[in-house]
């Protein structure tokens, strides 16, 4: 037989158990700690969204590009930005300067003449009938005096003695002929100042042979880079082809420059 005291204790314990169960049921579930997110705002561990990949235009469908130059520097500059011409069609033209002609007019006239000469060369070539033609010409000028390409050592020496310790300008004209017969032209100017070179330095530079065939008798991408005190404008313009302007002209006429970059990446991955 259970006494009254024992029965009361049993009832009290059952009541405590019941209350504990009710309190537990009323407590809200503890929230799950937030999962870390990446810088892109994606939850860690979550599947990344599938990004459609842009496919480059097959080379067989791209427009052709003909470079009207035999300059290894211009070719190297184009390849630096992922553009490899489909053909080189340099032409021999009369590059003599008319007396009183200003540098900007000289380079524009000669660049167009080079493009026209290249056009004549490819007219009979079926593969390049609808090609872009790119031509350029560069001169160095001190005031209105134009320094052409140095072919002889004394020409380079005279040019360097004139340029030392003073400022000069490099003008490059870029001419682009589109497949539908439209002409685009742009002249870029860069200002440069040389330090005061000694006669010994000039003699040593002439002995290096780097000056041969260079406008103004020097190549800024070589030893002559150490002559420059100040440069304002495009560096690649001084080398022979202003890349910013060339890429802008090609893209503006629909030549797929950026797709060539994609193609380059795909080749490297494969």
Give the residue numbers annotated as catalytic, written as ranges: 137
Of the candidates 212, 174, 190, the one whose C-alpha atom is nearest the C-alpha of residue 78 is 174
- Other C-beta atoms lying within 10 Å of the C-beta of residue 72: 9
Of the candidates 94, 101, 78, the one whose C-alpha atom is nearest the C-alpha of residue 171 is 101
Q: What is the distance between the alpha carbons of residues 41 and 60, in angstroms, rounded to a whole number? A: 40
**3-state SS, residue 5:** helix
| Phi/psi of residue 94, nearest 5 degrees | -80, 115
Within 8 A by CB and 6+ apart from 218, the residues are 156, 159, 160, 163, 205, 210, 211, 224, 227
Q: In which residue are the tokens 């033209």 written?
A: 93
Q: Is 193 exposed, middle or buried (0-12, 13-18, 19+ CB in 10 A)?
A: middle
Q: Which residues pair with 161 in a beta bridge?
A: none
């Amino acid at each position: 037989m259970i006494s009254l005291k024992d029965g009361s204790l049993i009832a009290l314990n059952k009541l405590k158990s019941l209350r504990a169960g009710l309190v537990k049921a009323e407590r809200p579930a503890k929230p799950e700690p937030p999962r870390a997110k990446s810088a892109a705002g994606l939850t860690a561990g979550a599947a990344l969204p599938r990004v459609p990949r842009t496919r480059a235009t097959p080379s067989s469908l791209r427009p052709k590009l003909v470079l009207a130059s035999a300059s290894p520097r211009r070719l190297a500059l184009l390849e630096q930005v992922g553009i490899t011409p489909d053909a080189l069609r340099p032409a021999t033209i009369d590059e003599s300067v008319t007396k009183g002609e200003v540098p900007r007019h000289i380079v524009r006239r000669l660049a167009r003449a080079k493009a026209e000469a290249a056009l004549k060369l490819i007219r009979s070539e079926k593969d390049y009938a609808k090609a872009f033609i790119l031509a350029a010409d560069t001169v160095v000028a001190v005031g209105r005096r134009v320094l052409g390409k140095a072919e002889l050592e004394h020409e380079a020496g005279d040019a360097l003695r004139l340029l030392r310790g003073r400022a000069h300008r490099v003008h490059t004209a870029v001419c682009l002929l589109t497949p539908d017969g439209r002409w685009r032209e742009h002249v870029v100017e860069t200002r440069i100042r040389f330090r005061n070179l000694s006669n010994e330095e000039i003699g040593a530079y002439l002995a290096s042979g780097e000056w041969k065939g260079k406008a103004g008798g020097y190549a800024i991408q070589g030893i002559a880079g150490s002559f420059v005190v100040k440069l304002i404008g495009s560096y690649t313009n001084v080398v022979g082809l202003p890349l910013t302007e060339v890429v802008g002209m090609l893209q503006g006429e629909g030549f797929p420059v950026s797709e060539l970059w994609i193609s380059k990446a795909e080749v490297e991955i494969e």
